[in-house]
């Protein structure tokens, strides 16, 4: 890993779309880069995370920490391919993956699926064995026990998933909280109290109606979305109750349907949060020094 002292604190939204589908020219599913306190943290690994990191200027062989909030495919699908691609570009230093129960089984399964290629490259190209320096730590609520960076988890409500966690990253200089996928969950405000940035998932009610209209299993999908995700006004209410200094809307539903744009998100949150609101888009970067 590179010199931690040279890493400027920043947040990069790599993928901002809710759900696993992708469309021509549209945003990618969920992933973020948080560089904080000299540590390089990848939060969730939806499809496109590897390219997103490269385009954000990250040297893949300097991967450090990866956090998975839950095991829906739009949050974990590219975890194995990210690490494998980093390995083929020279990764040989320790990487720790923090994830909920089931993450270790995912990693074991990925290694098994790629055993031929991994063993061949070790023998043919002299690469170190990634099984020796990638560690998976399965976590629950509470502190994650990292040296030099305070990270803690809060179980949120994302039925039918039970192992889904908001994450808080804190140093003496900066505090960033990710809601993960969750329905409106008031305890999150206490968890995020006083944070500098709250990255919260968000839906537009009119957008849900449009999605239901164009999909074949519309009513079942509506039930899932309304039971498992947060409408934009409620995300703003959480930010207000937390006293968050900035709200970033992410995991957007809808993210790429015609007829919905930034003004719709701002209208939906108006009057519920007095601070600055940023509507997520792939590649959006916030730096601590710019806040």
Residues recognised as catalytic: 74
DSSP code, position 20:
S
Contacts by residues 237-240 (CB-CB < 8 Å, ≥ 24 positions apart): 237/184, 237/272, 237/273, 238/179, 238/184, 238/185, 238/186, 238/188, 238/189, 238/192, 238/198, 238/200, 239/192, 239/198, 239/200, 239/273, 239/275, 240/272, 240/273, 240/274, 240/275
Give the integer Cα–Cα distance in Å for 199 and 257: 21
Tell me how many degrees the CA angle 7-277-261 measures, rounded to the nearest 5.
Answer: 110
The dihedral sign for the CA sequence 231, 197, 100, 58 = positive
* Nearest Cα residue to 144 out of 66, 240, 241, 56: 66
């Amino acid at each position: 890993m590179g010199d931690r002292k040279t890493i400027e604190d920043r947040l990069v939204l790599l993928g901002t779309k809710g759900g696993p589908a992708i469309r021509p020219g549209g945003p990618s599913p969920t992933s973020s880069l948080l560089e904080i306190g000299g540590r390089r943290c990848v939060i969730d690994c939806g499809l496109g995370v590897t390219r997103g990191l490269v385009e954000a200027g990250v040297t893949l062989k300097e991967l450090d920490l990866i956090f998975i909030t839950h095991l829906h495919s739009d949050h974990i699908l590219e975890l194995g391919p990210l690490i494998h691609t980093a390995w083929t570009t020279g990764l040989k230093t320790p990487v720790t993956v923090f994830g909920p129960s089931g993450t270790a089984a995912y990693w074991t399964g990925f290694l098994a699926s790629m055993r031929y290629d991994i063993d061949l490259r070790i023998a043919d190209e002299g690469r170190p064995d990634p099984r020796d320096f990638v560690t998976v730590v399965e976590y629950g609520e509470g502190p994650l026990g990292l040296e030099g960076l305070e990270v803690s988890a809060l179980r949120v409500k994302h039925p039918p998933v039970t192992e889904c966690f908001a994450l808080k990253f804190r140093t003496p200089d900066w505090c960033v909280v990710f809601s993960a996928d969750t329905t409106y969950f008031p305890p999150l405000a206490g968890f995020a109290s006083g944070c500098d940035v709250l990255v919260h998932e968000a839906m537009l009610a009119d957008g849900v109606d449009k999605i239901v209209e164009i999909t074949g299993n519309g009513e079942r999908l509506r039930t899932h979305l309304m039971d498992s995700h947060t409408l934009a006004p409620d995300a703003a209410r959480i930010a207000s109750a937390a006293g968050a200094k900035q709200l970033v809307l992410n995991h957007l539903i809808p993210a790429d349907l015609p007829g919905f744009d930034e003004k719709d998100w701002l209208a939906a949150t108006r009057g519920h949060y007095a601070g600055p609101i940023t509507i997520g888009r792939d590649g959006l970067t916030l730096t601590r020094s710019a806040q």
